[in-house]
C-alpha cells in the first residue's frame, strides 16, 4: 500500500492543474520580482532561488482563484505547517462520525494550531490513524501500521493532492521505536512533504468555506487567527519573524508557521484594510535563523500589491 502512496511523488502538476485555480500574469510577475529581489539582497551567506518556494493567491468573491508561484510544486519538509493537514483531516473525520468531538479533541486541536504543540499533534495523529508510537514491529505488522498511518494521505489524495505526505508526527528529539523503523524503511515517504502550491490550496479552501463544510472551515479559521492589533499579539511566536510581522496593524491574519534548525516557513491568509484578501505561502531552506527573511519577503509582496 505504501508504494501506491509513494508513486504519487512522481507527479508534479502546478496549482493551475487543479479545478478553480488559474495562473495570473500580474501575480506571477510579482512573485518573480520578489524572489529576484530577495536573492539579490542576501549574500552572506548566499541565498539562491532554489532555497525558496512561494505561492501567492488573490481571493476574490468567487473562483477561479488567481495565483503566481515560484517552485510551487517542489516538495519541502514542512515542519509544523503540516499541522494544517491534521486540522482539516480531524474536522473531516468528525463530520463523517469517524472521530468523536470531545473537549479533549478541542483542547488538542487548539494547542496544535495556536501554540504549535507537538504533543497534542501526536494525540490527533493517533486518533486519525488508529496508530501509536512504540517499540519496533515485525515487518508485516509494520506494513499494517503504515497502511493505517497513511489514512491522512489517502484522504488528501482523494481530493486531488499529488505531492503531499502527512504520515509523520513532529518531534523535538525523536523519532524512536517503530517511528524510526518506518523512517528507515519507507522512503520516500519517510518524512512529511508539502508544496507551497498545495499548502496554498488548503488555506484557500479553509478561508472560502470549502474545506469539509462552511461551519467547520469557520472553526478552523478561528484557530488560525493571529492578533496583530496589540504589541503582545505581534510578538506571538507565529507572528514575529514570520509573514505577520510585515503586515500593518489594521490587517487581519490567519496563519500556521513552521520552524526547524534548517527551515523557516509560513502559510498565511491575510486581509488588508481595503478588503483585498490573499494567501501567501513561503517555504525556505538553510536560513532558519534569519528572523528577517520571511517579513522581508512579505514586505516586498505587500509593496508590489
> Tell me: the pLDDT tens digits for 82-92?
999 999 999 99
HSE-CB at 266 with a 13 A cutoff on CA atoms is 30
The full 3-state SS of 271-300, as one line of letters, equals ECCCCCEEEEEEEEECCCCCCCHHHHHHHH
What is the phi-psi region of residue 116: left when phi exceeds 0, alpha when psi lies from -120 to 50, beta otherwise? left
Confidence of residue 254 (pLDDT cuts 50, 70, 90): very high
Average pLDDT over residues 99-105: 97
Range of the domain at 263: 2-304
Q: What is the CATH number of the domain that holds 68?
A: 3.40.710.10
**Is the pLDDT confidence value at 6 over 70?**
no
What is the mean pLDDT of the segment spanning 176-180? 96
Can you give the pLDDT at residue 61? Answer: 79
Give one DSSP letter per residue of 32-58, joined into a string. Answer: HHHHHHHHHH-BTTB--GGGEEEEEEE
Q: Using the structure block, give the residue that is written with the C-alpha cell 472521530.
A: 99
CA dist 72 and 197 (Å) reads 5
Burial, 12: exposed, middle or buried (Cβ in 10 Å; 0-12, 13-18, 19+)? middle
Query: What's the mean pLDDT when you consider all of the chain?
Result: 93
Q: How is the chain split among helix, strand and coil, in percent rounded to 5?
A: 45, 15, 35
Is 12 a residue whose pLDDT tops 80?
no
Is residue 288 pLDDT above 80, yes or no?
yes
- DSSP 8-state class, residue 69: E
**What is the Cα Rg of the chain in Å?**
19
Mean pLDDT of 148-177: 95
Give whole-number Cα distances, 209 to 33, 41, 63, 217, in Å. 31, 38, 12, 5
Q: Residue 2: pLDDT band by 50, 70, 90 thresholds?
A: very low
Domain count, the chain: 1
Mean predicted confidence (pLDDT) in 141-162: 97
Amino acid at each position: 500500500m505504501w508504494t501506491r502512496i509513494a508513486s504519487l511523488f512522481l507527479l508534479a502538476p502546478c496549482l493551475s492543474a487543479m479545478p478553480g485555480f488559474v495562473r495570473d500574469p500580474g501575480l506571477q510577475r510579482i512573485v518573480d520580482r520578489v524572489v529576484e529581489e530577495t536573492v539579490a539582497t542576501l549574500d552572506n551567506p548566499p541565498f539562491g532561488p532554489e532555497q525558496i518556494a512561494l505561492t501567492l493567491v488573490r481571493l476574490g468573491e468567487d473562483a477561479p482563484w488567481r495565483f503566481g508561484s515560484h517552485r510551487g510544486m517542489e516538495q519541502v519538509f514542512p515542519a509544523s505547517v503540516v499541522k494544517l493537514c491534521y486540522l482539516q483531516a480531524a474536522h473531516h473525520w468528525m463530520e463523517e462520525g469517524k472521530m468523536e468531538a470531545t473537549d479533549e479533541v478541542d483542547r488538542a486541536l487548539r494547542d496544535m494550531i495556536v501554540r504549535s504543540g507537538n504533543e497534542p499533534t501526536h494525540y490527533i495523529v493517533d486518533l486519525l490513524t488508529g496508530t501509536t508510537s512504540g517499540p519496533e514491529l515485525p515487518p508485516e505488522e509494520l506494513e499494517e501500521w503504515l497502511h493505517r498511518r497513511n489514512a491522512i494521505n489517502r484522504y488528501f489524495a482523494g481530493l486531488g493532492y499529488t505531492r503531499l505526505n502527512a504520515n509523520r508526527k513532529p518531534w523535538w528529539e525523536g523519532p524512536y521505536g517503530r517511528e524510526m523503523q518506518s523512517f528507515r524503511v519507507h522512503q520516500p515517504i519517510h518524512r512529511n512533504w508539502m508544496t507551497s502550491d498545495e499548502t496554498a490550496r488548503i488555506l484557500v479552501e479553509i478561508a472560502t468555506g470549502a474545506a469539509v463544510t462552511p461551519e467547520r472551515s469557520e472553526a478552523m479559521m478561528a484557530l488560525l487567527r493571529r492578533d496583530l492589533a496589540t504589541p503582545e499579539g505581534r510578538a506571538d511566536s507565529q507572528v514575529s519573524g514570520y509573514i505577520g510581522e510585515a503586515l500593518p496593524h489594521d490587517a487581519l491574519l490567519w496563519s500556521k508557521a513552521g520552524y526547524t534548525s534548517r527551515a523557516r516557513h509560513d502559510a498565511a491568509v491575510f486581509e488588508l484594510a481595503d478588503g483585498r484578501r490573499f494567501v501567501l505561502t513561503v517555504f525556505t531552506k538553510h536560513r532558519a535563523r534569519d528572523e528577517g527573511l520571511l517579513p522581508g519577503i512579505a514586505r516586498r509582496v505587500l509593496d508590489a500589491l
